[in-house]
Chain A
Amino acid sequence: MVSLEVRDLGCIRDDRILFSKVNIDLYPGQLLLVEGDNGSGKTSLLRILCGIRLPEHGHVIWQRTNNDKKTAVSVHGQESYAGDMAFLGHLDGNKLDLTVTENLEFSCSLALGNSSTIKEVLERVGLSYFDDLQVSNLSAGQRRRLALARLLLSGARLWILDEPFTALDKKGIAMVEREINAQLDQGGLVIMTSHHSVSFDSDKVTKLSLSQ
């Protein structure tokens, strides 16, 4: 059963065709690695997939319930999709003047429901000792870890990650890879871009190249 279907997706930015006719079928437990040079439209693709940006043409369909082509609804503007999806962009989305815990408490209330507690999640990303510190006092890597903690807390089935390894140290990268593997083992889906080489089982990974 396909969870995420992308059909004939195209994106035009400033009168330049970034990509067209992108087709993706993503199954539960699979990771989609989007590759491409700088400016090839990786971030634009991810922003279309998570619903921030509208595509020039084509559809993104999440968990199609029946096989009738005409009734399939695109994810754009669908609230049920937003509850199933968690996005980590270039910006961390942390409030600098709130503490680590306050930031996570707020994302807890935005999520539809969550299974892990803030304490557990902070331990997993290695921020337990910083829970009452304001984010403005954290380093760039620690801020990235906090953004990842929010992702874990969301309990979403689909993760869309734009360069998740930015600013992370070696331990951090290993931690993210571990969490992605755990997510895939639970039947979750991950879509990510990365300039680092990633080490996942090759049968779990689908690659999509955006270079012309």
Chain B
Amino acid sequence: MKKTTLSQVFFALLKRDLLLAFRHRAELFNPLLFFVLVVTLFPLGTGADTKLLQTMAPGIIWVAALLAAMLSLDTIFRSDFEDGSLELLLLNAHPTSILVLAKVLAHWLITGVPLMIIAPLLALFLGLDQDLIGLLVLTLLLGTPVLSLIGAVAIALTVGLKRGGILLSLLVLPFYVPVLIFATNAIEMAMSGLPVTAQLWILSSFLLLAITLTPWPTAAALKLSLS
């Protein structure tokens, strides 16, 4: 008999989800394409006023990233729910909250990280000051995992419904707004040369709270959706 430990299960699930995502490469590009399209359409809509674009850049990039993250939420549990493997994930001796965390981490690596990689390019395109690009990426690094973690709770609640789309956005948006406010505020403050440590600490605390508090309600909501 060989025993499996919790960390082995965590990494096995992470590996499985990343492998599945890799075999579905085409779907990966949807949120990313949406992100790039929204950001590139803004200058066409508002006119090429450099000053205006520069002040709006953090807001545009963050709102687009937030919507792209929301668009991709459905993929966290949908396919597992439909093929029955979600039942098997819940029906084993390992704590569901840890398995949920592995799934959310995989989802963030697949959807959040590409946004972070492409964001600096789009920021340059909107004329954001080069010194601020590092800060923008940092806010995305702290903020996008929160979006995935909070979204997982909502998607776990609505995965059993045929059309949960509208309900999903109503559920998650109130929780996304604080992240949006503090992240864009940090960059705006930095633009006027003010310190931004407070905003960054608040974003970090959001992240820590989300990592520690969301796996349990997600696991409970999944059980509710399956029963």
Q: Once the chains are docked, how many angstroms separate the CA of A80 from the CA of B92?
A: 9
Main secondary structure of the interface of B (DSSP, over half): helix
Does A110 reach chain B (CB closer than 8 Å)? yes
**In contact, A110 and B94 (Cβ under 8 angstroms):** yes
In the assembled complex, A115 has its CB within 8 A of some CB on chain B: yes
Let me know if B71 is at the binding interface, CB within 8 A: no
Is A53's CB under 8 angstroms from B227's CB?
yes
Nearest CB in chain B: distance from A119 CB, A: 15
Range class of the A interface residue count? 35 or more
Flag whether A90 is at the interface (Cβ < 8 A): yes
Q: Are A112 and B226 in contact, CB atoms less than 8 angstroms apart?
A: no
- Judge if B177 is at the interface, Cβ distance under 8 Å: no
A residues less than 8 Å from B13 (CB atoms): 106, 109
Q: Quick check: is B49 within 8 A (CB to CB) of the other chain? A: no
B163 at the A interface (CB under 8 A):
no
> Which residues from chain A sit less than 8 Å from chain B, CB to CB?
47, 50-54, 79-80, 82-83, 85, 87, 89-98, 102, 105-115, 150, 155
Q: Given the known A-B contacts A53-B227, A110-B89, are A92 and B19 also in contact in the complex, defined by CB atoms under 8 Å?
A: no
Quick one: which of B8, B16, B90 contacts A98, CB cutoff 8 A? B16
- The answer on a CB contact under 8 Å between A79 and B23 is no
Contact A102 B19 (CB under 8 A): yes
Spell out B's residues near A (CB within 8 Å): 1-4, 8-9, 12-13, 16, 19-20, 23-24, 79, 82-85, 87-95, 223, 226-227
Quick check: A87 and B95 within 8 Å, CB to CB?
Answer: no
Residues of A within 8 A of B1 (CB): 113-115, 155
Q: How far, in whole Å, are A105 and B19 apart by their CA atoms in the complex?
A: 13
Give the distance in Å from the alpha carbon of A97 to the alpha carbon of B85 in the complex. Answer: 13
CB of A112 within 8 A of CB of B4, answer yes
- Assess the B91–A82 pair: CB atoms within 8 A: yes
A111 pairs with B23, CB closer than 8 A? no
Is there contact, CB below 8 Å, between A52 and B4?
no
CA A115 – CA B3 in complex, angstroms? 10
Q: Smallest Cβ distance from B2 to chain A, in angstroms?
A: 6
The answer to whether A98 and B19 touch across the interface, beta carbons within 8 angstroms, is yes
CB distance from B27 to the nearest CB of A (A): 11
Q: Which of A85, A93, A114, A115 contacts B87 (CB 8 A)?
A: A93
Chain A residues, CB < 8 A from B91: 50-52, 82, 85, 87
Task: Find chain A residues with CB under 8 A from B16 CB.
Answer: 95, 98, 102, 106
Q: Which chain B residue lies CB-closest to A47? A: B227
Whole-angstrom distance from the CB of B35 to the nearest CB of chain A?
25
In the complex, which residues of chain B have a beta carbon less than 8 angstroms from the beta carbon of A51? 91
Beta-carbon contact of A111 and B90 below 8 Å: no
Q: Contacts A52-B226, A54-B227 given; indicate if A92 touches B84 (C-beta within 8 A).
A: yes
Cβ–Cβ contact B85 & A82, under 8 A? no
- A44 to chain B: closest CB distance in Å? 10
A60 CB → nearest B CB, Å: 14
List A contacts of B3 (CB < 8 A): 112-113
Give bound CA distance, A148 to B178, whole Å. Answer: 48
Given A52-B91, A79-B93, verify A98-B4 contact (CB < 8 Å).
Answer: no
| Residue in B2, B82, B85, B89 whose Cβ sees the most chain A Cβ within 10 Å | B85
